[in-house]
Structure 1
Amino acid sequence: MTDELKEPVNEARLWSDGQWTARVINNDDDDGWAVAMYLDGQSEPALVGPWTMGRDKKNPKPLDVNAFNTLVKTAKEVIRRSEQQLHAQLNKNVSITVKGERIRVALAIVPDEEGATATLSAFDALDAELARVRVEPTFKLNVDTAVAWAAGGFGRLR
């Protein structure tokens, strides 16, 4: 979407509140209709889903305030889940016991177009940092690698 839709728009196939825009489009997968939800400033839709046919079984049902509000809520949920999934992929934690103490080992990956970076950290039961080293973004964190790192004195990993 471009910045052209800043004012609220309430049309049968286009509805906008200045932040979100719902656009009813032809569904390329079948003879029906779909609705695409765009967040202001984004070129790709946050959500695309089927849209109901109107009474004539030819044209789409017009958008209305209730449908728009439901679509906004659903699109926000899709974005939130996507962000949670990305966070889970980039941040992993395992807990291990070393010399009777519980230690949390965390891997944090920072994506970058020029090359991702990653940091492996160890924290005690009070969440005080015990150690931090840079690792390859491809490092596989699991209980075994965490225990091996701790057993090696939390030194640099190759």
Structure 2
Amino acid sequence: MTDTSLSSTDSAADLISDNAPESHEAETDTPEAIHEDRLWRDGGWTARVIKNEDDDGWAVEMIKDGEQEPALVGPWTMGRNKKDPKPLDVSAFNTLVKTASEVLRRHEQQLRAQLHKSVRVAAATGDEDLEITLDIVPDEDEPYALLTALDAFGEQLAQVQVAANFKLSKASAASWVENEFRRPS
């Protein structure tokens, strides 16, 4: 059996290109699966066991295909000889994928909570509640937000563009409704 573990100078791409058969077919977007002791790629994820720079141990990083930064970096178990890392296997990889996916999901939820706010206020007629939403568009050059009024059925009644730092509260939403959905100053 040949040793295909990565040295500090090898990269996953080098390892793949060195071992991949030549093909004249068009490349696909899905990388070929790899199942090695320190490198495991499958199902849109790559797990790579790396030397932990903080101590003498090992770490594992999980990278989602197409991303530059790891979604998860954590400690990795030492092998039986207490020197080398424990090899990756299907069970460990599946657990890592589940954990990294959960980290990404929580991050997306947190970002959504920061960029989307919602309050309920009484309509001007007083016969129904309106949902007033603020959706921040984090444009690098000119960030802004969309203030939207929705009726009880989710139908849009009005929408205006406001500053990204607009503070949505029950009072500001009620004021906007009372002013017949004119752009807040």
TM-score (norm 1): 0.91
Alignment-mate amino acid for residue 59 of structure 2: A
Aligned-residue offset at 1:121? 0.6
- Count, aligned residues: 158
Q: Return the letter of the residue paired with 2:130.
A: I
Structure 1 residue ranges, 4+ long, deviating more than 6 angstroms after superposition? 1-4
Q: How does 1:2-151 map to 2 (within 5 A)?
A: 6-17=31-42, 19-98=44-123, 99-151=126-178
Amino acid at match of 1:86: L
Greater relative CO (CA pairs within 8 A, separation 6+) = 1
Aligned-residue offset at 1:108: 0.9
Q: Which amino acid aligns with 2:102?
A: E
Structure 1, 122-131 or 3-12: larger mean CA deviation:
3-12
Which amino acid letter does the alignment assign opposite residue 142 of structure 1? S
Give the greater-gyration-radius structure (CA). Answer: 2
Kept in 2: contact 1:12–1:64 (CA 8 A): yes
1:108–1:53 Cα change, 3 Å? same
Distance change >3 Å, CA 27–CA 2, structure 1 → 2: closer
Q: Indicate the percent of aligned positions where both proteins have the same amino acid.
A: 56
Number of the residue aligned with 2:5:
none
Q: For the residues of structure 2 that align with 1:103 and 1:57, how far apart are their CA atoms? A: 63
Unaligned runs of 5+ in 2: 1-10, 17-30
Measure, in 2, the Cα distance between the counterparts of 1:140 and 1:37: 37
- Can you give the 5+ residue segments of structure 1 that lack an aligned partner in the other structure? none
TM-score, normalised with respect to structure 2: 0.79
User: Per-residue displacement from partner, 1:4-27 (whole Å, max 9, x unpaired)?
Assistant: 752211111111116211001112
Contact kept in structure 2, 1:3 and 1:40, CA below 8 Å = no
CA distance in 2, matches of 1:3, 1:12: 16
Which residue type is aligned with residue 24 of structure 1?
V
Q: Structure 1 residues 108, 2: closer, same or farther in 2, change over 3 A?
A: farther
Letter in 2 for 1:127: G
The structure richer in strand per residue is 1
